[in-house]
Structure 1
Amino acid sequence: MRTTLTAAAAATLIALTPHAAQAAGSYPDPRPITGQEIIHDPTVIRLKSGGYAAYSTGGVIGARLSTDGSHWSDAGNAFAEPPAWWYEYNDTGDPWAPDISYRDGTYWLYYAVSSWGTNHSAIGVATSRTGLPGTWTDHGKVFTSERADPWNAIDPAVVTSQGRLWMTFGSYWTGIRMVELDPETGKALPNATVHHLATRPDAPYAVEGPYIVKHGRYYYLFASYDACCSGADSTYKIKVGRSTSVTGPYTDSKGKPLLEGGGDLLLAGHGRYVGTGGESVFRDRGQDWLAYHYYDADDNGTPKLGLNRLSWKTGWPEPT
């Protein structure tokens, strides 16, 4: 299924009027959307062919499509069936937390396969010329972790810095890490250094789902803190720090290192919008947008797509 976008429709996502911030926490509500709202760990991109694609945890990397960024349709899955190697990491071939990006005329889809509560995990990569579901070619493992490792190879996200390609990842197991990738293969360089970007001083080091954005002279590291996946009982929240180097050190606005538990609170649950996290950032016509899931307390804790525009008025991201 190919999507097209009129000039008027393309402006819709940008022109939506922000909701008033909630008085209790001064956090904005997500922008109103229609259609298929259910999603978990969303990654969103504006396609070169027009319209938007979102991929997520669930299914064989669940897919959503939209012509205007407001109304979303279920578009099946990235893959018709799991690649055989996924079953090395769980019995159902269940992928988690994808990340979509575009470079050199190709869409790249990173994702993780693992089992709950273990760091016997792997990150894989697939490519497509269109970015649409059903067009992806899998290329196998990018980076792995085993039970003896002090990190967990899930929740990938890629960023380019000064012509070099990097992947940040991590979930619990001492937090957020980073490795350099080969831009030709999209896979980790041989014997790549594993950089440490963020953690918490308290076990079980509940920080995961990293995403890095370059804005001005800084790299901004977004991450999800506390617990997901418990519906309306989830405690997920999004924090952020920044650095002048992609490999860190990252600090919050008060100068506290993220490796020492620092991080500015960007978005937390409020009202019906519980457990905001699993975030990513995408750029659309010069504007940055925060994509995430929340658990709808008014709908039995169902995970749904949240979208907020990001402003940078203070040198720090602010959702509106």
Structure 2
Amino acid sequence: MSQTLDKQAPKRLCEHDVEGNVMTQDVIVVFGGSGFVGRYVVRALAKAGKRVRVAMRRPHLGQDLRVMGDVGQIQLVQANVRNGDSIARALEGATGVINLVGILFESGKQTFEATQMAGASLVASQSAKAGIRRYVHVSAIGADRNSPSKYGRTKGQAEQAVLAAIPSATIMRPSIIFGAEDNFYNQFAAMAKMSPALPLIGGGKTRFQPAYVGDVAEAIVKGLDTGGGTYELGGPNIYSFKEILSYILEQIERHRFLAPLPFFIAQPLGAVLNTIFKFYPFGGPPLTDDQVIMLKTDNVVSAGARTFADLGMHELETVEAIVPTYLYRFKPYGQFQAKHKPV
């Protein structure tokens, strides 16, 4: 009887997820699954009953991902987007691929060309060889192979390479993404905690359309079954850079001067900071010259683009509903103290 139960148990665990939903034989490989957006994507896939294989450079650092699904539902494998053989091994038996790999600044071998362009091209070509047609590539609003920004240019080149290899691929272009672990609202809140002023780059006129990471993850999972196309993912509201900084200061109850920083000053300053932080072992630069170039263009959904709505998603989370739930950490008096005047 014991042996019979032991044989039945693995089958039961493999056929149902943690919520009791039947799992399919879909094996979705996620590149970049250990990152900010990737963790939400892995969770969404697991909730949808998919079998998830997270391809990452250091699988031993992603053990916490396993608890997002049922026993055996989430698998960690070693792979590097710059190594074709490792990609091919990760793709064995896969029915779909999601590539989230991207960087905000260059460091060592992690360059825009190697990671965002060549890496994306290699993952797509290996997926094509494996016969995979359900493919989602996560890019960004502003991706353009002719962009003056290295980030935007390599994102655009990657899109072109992916579609050349897999014409049925779906491209997702989010605006800035917010959530508890984001590198945007948190970064400026942390800066305000230490600095008497925040840089109002270019006068703060650049417009953004922030999207909640949970909504973006859901859209990415839906993208596996769209049959192709490009989608621009922007949240329900548009804000100027100045409005975003002012909102952050309001939420963390700190009074800071918003110092206008013209582009012609910000760009060389960003270049210096980028160079310095290449030799700094912890974290990234607060600003790079490439980021300044990107700030010269609005980061909002373009007219006529396919959006969340085309994926059947009409009720999106707002900045006002989510951001206060994690920025309280930067308040001078803590989360539960009575509201004070800004300090």
TM-score by length of 1: 0.31
Higher helix residue share: 2
Task: State the structure with more CA Rg.
Answer: 2
TM-score by length of 2: 0.29
